[in-house]
Amino acid sequence: MSVDAKTVRRIAHLARIAVANDEVEHLQGELNAILAFVEQLSEANVTDVEPMTSVTPMAMKKRPDIVTDGGKPDEIVANAPVTEDHFFLVPKVVE
Residue at 64 is within a domain: no
Residue at 95 is within a domain: no
Q: With cut-offs at 50, 70 and 90, classify the pLDDT of residue 4.
A: very high
Residue at 68 is within a domain: no
Residue at 82 is within a domain: no
DSSP 8-state symbol, 15: T
pTM recorded for the entire structure: 0.50
Residue 15 has pLDDT above 90, yes or no: yes
For the chain, the first-to-last Cα distance in angstroms comes to 55
Tally of domains within the chain = 1
- Give the domain extent around 22: 5-42
Residue 49 has pLDDT above 90, yes or no: no
Cβ-proximal residues to 82 (8 Å cutoff; 6+ apart), any chain: 88, 89
Q: Decide: helix, strand or coil at residue 6.
A: helix
| Burial class (CB within 10 angstroms; exposed 0-12, middle 13-18, buried 19+) of 82 | exposed
Of 32, 82, 6, the residue nearest 90 (C-alpha): 82
